[in-house]
Structure 1
Amino acid sequence: MEEDDVVCLDASFFVNDNYQLTKFSFGSQVLELYCLQSASICMAADYDLTGQLVWPGAVLLNNFLSENEELLRGCSVIELGSGVGITGMLCHRFCREVVLTDHNDEILEKNIELHESSQESQAGLKSEKLEWGNSEQLEKILQDHPEGFDLILGADIYILIIVISCIIFQQCSIPSLFDTVEKILRVRQQGNCKFILAYVSRAKVMDALVISEAIRHGLLVSEVTGTRTIVKNLEGVIFEITCGRTQATGNSDS
């Protein structure tokens, strides 16, 4: 494996493993939710880090949404890879409906319980288990929402980091992610659903794969002007992804 292919994690992620009620500010919006401040590798023999922390991409996405609240008002939203639910909690204040999804919803449910009685809440808020590429789980969600969604949201959701016996393993989930995204986008035949992805660059091979997989699925990828920035020493950007033609050819017009 070449150096550019390695996904690196900041050492500050690996300190302790206790959920704490933590306050976050995004523009004028202040959120409180339970999360890990960081995680201790050596205290966990089998540990999935991805759904327990607030990752840089979530910070990027929430800052973007807090500056563009009009994107959320009155919308139905599904979030992929919700983790602790920090983006869904922000959307909860503006949208008419928010569905948070992840492969592990334990801490997600804990944070939903914390927020569902909030007087600031405007939307129905619920969680669903969804592993990308799992047709049965996705069909269940779409059966409950046959009209689809206005927005699909995702942040830092293209790699799965698992710690087993103090060794970090990375698994690329981009192909199955875009399988799921395409199916949700195409529920809206008139094409008025879009996927807003907060992407944080950690490896050049991943950067290229995100774009190529979107194209292979017949999707159009646009960088949102003015969103490229540095988040926790990493370069991040907001992409807007929509349906292209009715069929994914993988070759477009190039």
Structure 2
Amino acid sequence: MALQLCQNEAEESDDDTVCLGESFFVNREYNLTTFTFGPHSLRLLCLRSASTDYDLTGQLVWPGAVLLNNYLSDNAGILEGCSIIELGSGVGITGVLCSKFCHEVVLTDHNDEVLEIMRKNIELQSTLENPSCAALRAMKLEWGNSDHLSKILQEFPTGFDLVLGADIYILFVHNFSPLLFKSLANFP
């Protein structure tokens, strides 16, 4: 039997070949984890592993997000009634916390796998009888992608009061800083 990395199962050429799609290598063993920031407890699905593929870093909660959430929890008054967009939201920990104070929170990421876990976490908030979860939205945003930006701006034409991002790892792996700033320049 031979193992082969294939784009789809149709590429299996005979009975001795097993086709492995890219998703075979994706860790989806998420744990329901409780995080506490001041008086606020959040329950989210995330990976516990200390590392992941660079493109799937959003499956983890990183120290920068914990620091940002501690700051936001201690200074919640600055968020009252705001509309926020978070860049590189990952599992959505910062956006979920912000939804407790803000009237509108848009979580973004470029990776479809990460967007899937982000959406599950938004759903989880609604099942936890959290009335603020109605303010949460997950949207795809690949920095510099005009189609993604247009879709967000069509749905939120007045823009956002605050742009947040923590531990945006991809900035350091590749030189994505110009694309980040190009995206930010498009928000009113």
Which residue number in structure 2 is paired with residue 129 of structure 1? 140
Confirm or deny that 1:113 pairs with 2:120. Answer: no
CA drift of 1:182 comes to 2.0
Which residue number in structure 2 is paired with residue 173 of structure 1? 176
Which residue number in structure 2 is paired with residue 84 of structure 1? 91
Aligned-partner residue type, residue 124 of structure 1: A
TM-score (norm 1): 0.58
C-alpha contact (below 8 Å) 1:51/1:83 kept by paired residues:
yes
CA drift of 1:154 comes to 0.6
Confirm or deny that 1:100 pairs with 2:107. Answer: yes
RMSD over aligned Cα, in angstroms? 2.0
Higher strand share: 1
Structure 1: distance between partners of 2:117 and 2:66: 18
Which residue number in structure 2 is paired with residue 196 of structure 1? none
Structure 1: distance between partners of 2:83 and 2:64: 21
Which residue number in structure 2 is paired with residue 26 of structure 1? 37
Which residue number in structure 1 is paired with residue 55 of structure 2? 48
C-alpha contact (below 8 Å) 1:159/1:174 kept by paired residues:
no
Aligned-partner residue type, residue 85 of structure 1: G
Structure 2: distance between partners of 1:121 and 1:173: 36
Q: Secondary structure at the match of 1:110?
A: helix
Structure 1: distance between partners of 2:156 and 2:99: 17
Q: 1:133 to 1:158 in 2, by over 3 A?
A: farther
Structure 2: any 5+ residue segments left out of the alignment?
A: 1-26
Structure 2: distance between partners of 1:114 and 1:62: 19
User: Aligned match of 1:64 in 62, 71, 75?
Assistant: 71
TM-score (norm 2): 0.77
Q: 1:36 to 1:137 in 2, by over 3 A?
A: same
Aligned length: 158
User: Aligned match of 2:149 in 138, 152, 162?
Assistant: 138
C-alpha contact (below 8 Å) 1:158/1:173 kept by paired residues:
no
- Deviation beyond 3 Å, 4+ runs, structure 1: 117-121
Equivalent positions of 1:185-200 (< 5 A) are 187=188
C-alpha contact (below 8 Å) 1:85/1:100 kept by paired residues:
yes
Larger radius of gyration: 2
Structure 1: distance between partners of 2:144 and 2:91: 21
Aligned-partner residue type, residue 48 of structure 1: D
Structure 1: any 5+ residue segments left out of the alignment?
A: 1-15, 162-169, 188-254
C-alpha contact (below 8 Å) 1:17/1:40 kept by paired residues:
no
